[in-house]
Amino acid sequence: MKPGKRVTLADVAAHAGVDRSVISRVMNSDPGLNIRPETRVRVLASVKALGYRPNAAARTLRTRRSRTIGLFVPDHADPVYAEIVTGAEAAAAERGCVLVTGSGRVADSAQPYLDLLADGRVDGLLLAGGVTATPAALRESGMPWLLLNRSMADATRHVVLDDEGAAAMAVEHLVNLGHRRIAHLAGPDGSDTASRRASGYRAAMRRHGATPDPGLAVRADYTADGGFQAMTELLGRTPRPTAVFVANVTSAIGAVRAAYRCGVRVPSELSIVAVHDLPFAEYLVPALTTVRMPLQELGRRGVEKLTTTDPDAPVSETVGAPMELVRRESTAPPREA
């Protein structure tokens, strides 16, 4: 076998020296199969030696073998992914399918799920956010797949949000209020969404005649604690920024708390705006200004593209609308203005 080549039924049959139908019937424990015990042992030994996994689902969702779609997310506890799941679940139901989900909190990568699902338990797989799975592993899984809100080198099947546009919308809001010293609480290193939002932030700053200051960019993971630690670090620098663009709404919760702990008043001394608008944002003190992105539409489009495109066809789509700035109490003109 060539490295990276998916093992087929024909490969196992040739290795065991039997007809392909025998392999299938042995794998399915067909009670009507009449073969010698040593032949059965040889077949099973070939299956194990070659690492063969039967793929009961066709390479397209048109067959609807299981009527089940898999969605793998980094963390079920992240409310952003809860919104994506909601949209995907609705779209799956409209197509007579059931959505099943797994998360990176159970496994370090998507590979265990690929191993379990490659035998046809689902008709296709969506992988959201920073899920760890190589393009080669996805192709070898033998099932239709699509990346959600993440692009990856050598993986030409993805549906993403307009992260650059969201960052520009946030920066332009702050600039229109009169801010020029605008910091960025960026997402984690290696995150595709964080990279796009940081790129959008830098481009928007340059459009408004401001050179992005590397000293005003601090990385934070997409958690409240990550936002708290990053904002605490940022507020220890001099001179302090008058406004901060936070790459993720959950990080912004910690950022607001850090400002309070550091004695910095929001928004009179520091304006804060974040990507994603979730219900809790308006209940923070102060209520958080956000850029609302179409998370449910992202999940919906993922299911639609997965179920209507050829599994080997490239998919590259950006869901840009509806997207809007939701202005609340956490942003205001700078105090010196």
Q: What is the pLDDT of residue 152?
A: 79
- Please tell me whether residues 260 and 313 are part of one structural domain: no
Q: What is the pLDDT of residue 135?
A: 63
44 shares its domain with 75: no
**Number of domain units in the chain:** 3
Q: Which domain holds residue 85?
A: 61-161+296-319
209 belongs to a structural domain = yes
> Are 282 and 171 contained in the same domain?
yes
Please indicate, yes or no, whether residues 286 and 303 belong to a single structural domain of this protein: no
Query: How confident is the model at residue 140, as a pLDDT?
Result: 67
Consecutive 10-residue averages of pLDDT for the chain (337 residues): 68 91 81 87 92 58 67 87 95 92 66 61 82 65 83 84 97 96 94 94 95 92 95 94 97 97 97 96 96 97 93 90 95 85
My answer on whether 249 and 188 are in the same domain is yes
Residues 19 and 86 placed together within one structural domain of the fold = no
Do 242 and 167 share a structural domain?
yes
Whether residues 168 and 123 fall in one domain:
no
Return the axis-axis angle of helices 249-261 and 224-235, rounded to nearest 10°.
50
Task: Express each pLDDT in 151-171 by its tens digit.
Answer: 877 778 999 999 999 999 999
Q: Is-contact 121 66, C-beta < 8 A?
A: yes
Residues 19, 111 within the same domain? no
Residue 263 covered by a domain? yes
CATH number of the domain residue 153 falls in: 3.40.50.2300
Instruction: Return d(Cα 69, Cα 168) in angstroms, integer.
Output: 34
Does the residue 107 lie in any domain?
A: yes
Q: What is the pLDDT of residue 58?
A: 38
Q: Encode pLDDT of 225-240 as tens digits.
A: 999 999 999 999 989 9
Q: Which of 288, 135, 151 is nearest to 224 (CA)?
A: 288
Q: Are residues 288 and 173 in the same domain?
A: yes
Can you tell me which residue has the tokens 């192709």? 139
| SS3 label, residue 76 | coil
Whether 286 and 255 share a structural domain: yes
The pLDDT, as a whole number, for residue 38 is 92
335 is a domain residue: no
271-275, strands of its sheet edge to edge = 217-219, 182-186, 243-246, 271-275, 289-292, 324-326
How far apart CA 249 and CA 273 sit, in angstroms, is 9
Residue 127 within a domain: yes
**pLDDT the model gives residue 110:** 61
Q: In terms of Cα–Cα distance, which of 61, 56, 73, 77 is closest to 9?
A: 56
Q: State residue 2's pLDDT score.
A: 52
Residue 219 within a domain: yes
The verdict on residue 327 lying in a domain is no
Q: Say whether both 169 and 267 belong to one domain.
A: yes
Structural domain includes residue 174: yes
